[in-house]
Amino acid sequence: MKRSLNTLLVILITLSVFGQEKEKAFKVELHGFVGVSGFYDSRQSVAPRNSHIYLYPKPVQLDDRGNDINATGQYNIDAAHSRFGLHVSGPDVLGAKSFALVEGDFLGKSGSNDVNFRLRHAMIRLSWEKSYLIVGQYWHPLFIPESFPLMIGLDPAIPFNPFARNAQLKYGVKASDNLELNAALVAQTDFKNAGMPTGDEMSQLPELDVQLKYKSKQFLLALTAGVKSLKPMLSEQFDDANDPDIKYTYATDEKVTSYHLSAITKINISDLTVKAGYTYGGNMSNMVMLGGVGRKANTGINNILSEYAATYSGSFWADLQYNIGKVQTGVFFGHSKAYGAREDVSILWQYSIGGSSTNPGSSTIGSLYSVSPRVDFVLAKKTTLGLQYAYTVAGYGDDFDSQGTPINTTDVENHRITVSMLYKF
């Protein structure tokens, strides 16, 4: 009896070992970096995330003596963009190789100066021989991980380069070793359109993006097109024509629909890397870009529900980087321009980027450009020290034309110096 039990135990252990050999084990890798950055701006600026993300200088704001309140500098030193994450690979799922990514940093909520942990990425990827599926929070399709400006510190070159992370369902097909076609249904999470915290959910329609990507060792081209529809509000309130103390509230189902197009490329020539991109789109504040929403003419009055139209903008950027041993030099240029709507509108500043909540209907950016040279020193294999200078000019308009394009612009400039040290692991 004892011998039979021993034999049975050996068989069970053997089967268990064989079972483990057949099923791929989980592999977990830790990655990230400790990053410390210091900034100096010659002018008060719009720079969220503890000044790590620079957008543009603030407009002229005169005091009672005629002095510009915003014409003063400011510095900041911060290590909150330090991040860590996990790369996880494991058993095959539905015949596909499985991979998961979870990553976070300490930049916290937008507009907060606290050092709070926040989620950056949390996605699952299943890869078959000729296709793949991504589910979870990851880069928006307009942001191309293979080609974006390599600025110093955390600066992702916005509002020139589209930038967002979103919950999504993305499916891609590999037509060849170099050519890929993918489509994504995208929901807004922490990157939302200005003034519409639930505009995406209330529309009941996720954003749709399609992308064609060609990639080789020396060349990359990504073409992206998308459409989104948002519902700004559930109800609208009107004053009585004869008695302003009497209010009427009406349910509304009006939405604002817009589209976007993008082309991004990268060329490798020996030690020189050239990257460039152009994006045109409407209501792009969710991508931290110029543009927003206007109310169509002759709506929103006399108990007629407001109808909305997106205001559009175009943005071009180029980035050159040259590697000389342990010294990496580069220069970035970006230009954005507001084009307004395609019909007569009145601008709704609360739904726009580049507007002023303290002076609605004015102080809106019509154009924006930046030039930024940089140098990065490789101190060790995974330790770098970077220095960057950025000259940024914003053209603020004091009025709009009939289609919501800023006019009578006045330029305001800022000089930013950034020093950043990264210790990667």
Residue 12 lies in a domain: no
The whole-angstrom separation of Cα 28 and Cα 32 is: 13
pTM beyond cutoff 0.85: yes
Residue 20, in any domain of the structure: no
Into how many domains does the chain fold? 1
Please say whether the beta carbons of 139 and 161 come within 8 A. Answer: no
Extract the tokens encoding 397: 């308009």
Establish if 13 belongs to a structural domain.
no
- Asked if residue 36 belongs to a domain, the reply is yes
For β-strands 247-251 and 235-239, DSSP reports them as antiparallel
Which pLDDT belongs to residue 292?
A: 93
pLDDT reported for residue 24: 76
Instruction: Decide if 414 contacts 392 (C-beta within 8 A).
Output: yes
Which residues, 6+ apart, have CB-to-CB distance to 162 below 8 Å?
140, 142, 143, 262, 279, 284, 287, 288, 289, 315
Say how many Å lie between the first and final Cα of the chain, rounded.
Answer: 56
Q: Answer yes or no: is 189 within a domain.
A: yes
Partnered with residue 121 across adjacent β-strands are 103
pLDDT at 241: 81
pLDDT at residue 355 in the model? 54
Q: What does 342-397 look like in DSSP terms, one character per residue? A: SS-EEEEEEEEES--TTSTTS-EEEEEEEEEEEEEEEEETTEEEEEEEEEEEEEEE
Question: 247 lies in which domain range?
Answer: 25-424
16 within a domain of the structure (yes/no): no
Residue with token string 């600026």: 45
Report angle CA 144, 57, 314 to the nearest 5 degrees: 40
**Residue 4 included in any domain:** no
Would you state the pLDDT for residue 298?
A: 92
Residue 18 lies in a domain: no
Q: What's the CATH number where 138 sits?
A: 2.40.160.10
Is the Cβ–Cβ distance between 275 and 160 less than 8 Å? no
pLDDT given for residue 362 in this prediction: 43
Amino acid making up residue 315: S
Average pLDDT of adjacent 10-residue blocks, the chain of 425 residues: 47 45 80 96 92 92 94 94 95 96 87 75 97 98 96 90 97 96 96 93 96 97 98 93 88 97 97 97 95 94 93 97 94 97 92 60 79 97 96 94 94 97 96
